[in-house]
Amino acid sequence: MSKTRYSGFKVLKEALTGHKGWEPTWRDAEPKADGYDVVIVGGGGHGLATAYYLAKNHGITNVAVVEKGWIGGGNVGRNTTIIRSNYLLPGNEPFYEFSLKLWENLEQDLNYNAMVSQRGIMNLIHSDAQRDAFIRRGNGMLFADAGCEFIEAKEVKERYPFLDMDNPRFPIKAALSQPRGGTVRHDAVAWGYARGASDLGVDIIQNCEVTGFNIENGKCLGVQTTKGEIKAGRVGVCVAGSSGRVMAKAGIKLPIESHVLQAFVTEGLKPVMDNVITFGAGHFYCSQSDKGGLVFGGDIDGYNTYAQRGNLPVVEDVCSGGMAIMPMIGRARLLRMWGGVMDMSMDGSPFIDSTEIDELFFNGGWCYGGFKATPASGYCYAHLLATNSSHEVATAYKLDRFRRGAMIDEKGVGAQPNLH
């Protein structure tokens, strides 16, 4: 398939010639009979990014991505599209900062418009203790070269006059901002990585569910799927919310629970907020899409579930969080709400690791923060699959870290996945 190169000139040319020159963005493939060097289970953002970086960075192009539905139909198309690297702990922050740097160059790298918008993210501060905690976090970010800005209340009010600064319960005292954070068109991330991987020779196989693993003498030789057996030199699983179900087919239990996270969007409004704002006293984060809808979310529902839908009490909780900081949101009508299944780990941090079965690898436990990690997750997973060693920014993401007592618990709430 010849590669269409996207550019302003190309758009103009197609506009004048009846849009007859566009080609499919990626090649829809069927499984090859003689198998692959690497089979990636899960065609979400992380799986497609992994395939892309395997081909691009490591020259491994005999790769298949198998996806039970269609690509971009899972969490990569369900999140609130926020990117940031405002973590505290040394096991996390360099990884997320690496990811943000990849985001900054993603569109040039992929020649695909993913609408990466570094509009800034602002975490509101509501108490003196939180001010101290956020200054500490800001220092952690500065150590990792991630950049941050402390904004006093006066300036917060000037920039965002709709905020309820003097709310009696949750007054806004200041904010910590990461100007390099922002939002990305999430579907375009899946499509862009799919296109990049496909052009380098990767087979993207949709509607192909993995039903089992071929494991002999402790070594994984391939996968069984609804489209037959696929032989593989190496298998990399990255299926987010389905991690428990898929890895159970290989007899592996994980330090993960599956929970549902809901997200919401209002009707389209005129431009009111040019950044991402998060509530510090509850859980609420909001940005405005280019179509004008306020896109927001909050806590997970809090009980184990594989249903991609949540319940109404959390809707009320999230909306009341929004009302506490921006009462104007009460005038907007909620247009849509949806749910995605999150792979909540025991310390709120992810895994990119080998497993007890040879040639079977696992990437998961992203909780509800997987989207921002997409480029680095793919980059580091590709590094692991190609070299059998962890990338330097992902060395902490080992499956056995709880056995060793080496948790990466940003919130410090312990082995309670529904609280992370």
Partner 1 sequence: MIINHPLLGPRDSEEFVYLGAADLINRPSNWEHDASAEDFYQYQYIRENVAGDHRELWYHEQGDQSWLVVTRNTLSHEIINVELAQDVSRGIGRGK
| Residues of the shown chain interacting with partner 1 in the complex, contacts defined by CB under 8 A | 243-245, 248, 253-258, 302-307, 311, 313, 346, 402-403, 415-418
> Both tokens of residue 87?
């973590």
Q: Residue ranges of the alpha helices (H) in 83-214? A: 93-104, 106-110, 128-143, 153-159, 186-199
> Both tokens of residue 151?
């904004």
> Both tokens of residue 112?
């695909």
Which helix (H) or strand (E) segment holds residue 380: the answer is: helix 374-387
Burial of 297 (C-beta count, 10 Å sphere; 0-12/13-18/19+): buried
Least CB distance to partner 1 at residue 406 (A): 12
Least CB distance to partner 1 at residue 247 (A): 9
Least CB distance to partner 1 at residue 140 (A): 26
Give 123 or 243: the residue with its C-beta nearer to partner 1.
Answer: 243
Half-sphere exposure of 187 (CA within 13 A, CB side): 3
Give 190 or 246: the residue with its C-beta nearer to partner 1.
Answer: 246
Query: Could you give the CA distance from residue 85 to residue 92 in angstroms, rounded to a whole number?
Result: 9
Give 289 or 418: the residue with its C-beta nearer to partner 1.
Answer: 418
Least CB distance to partner 1 at residue 336 (A): 20
Least CB distance to partner 1 at residue 301 (A): 9
Give 305 or 374: the residue with its C-beta nearer to partner 1.
Answer: 305
Query: Could you give the CA distance from residue 169 to residue 163 in angstroms, rounded to a whole number?
Result: 14
Which helix (H) or strand (E) segment holds residue 23: the answer is: none
Least CB distance to partner 1 at residue 403 (A): 5
Least CB distance to partner 1 at residue 418 (A): 6
Decide if 360 contacts 220 (C-beta within 8 A). Answer: yes
Give 97 or 257: the residue with its C-beta nearer to partner 1.
Answer: 257
Instruction: Label each residue of 306-355 as H, E or C.
Output: CCCCCCHHHHHHHHHHHHHHCHHHHHCCEEEEEEEEEEEECCCCCEEEEC
Give 142 or 415: the residue with its C-beta nearer to partner 1.
Answer: 415
Radius of gyration of the chain (CA): 21
Give 5 or 403: the residue with its C-beta nearer to partner 1.
Answer: 403
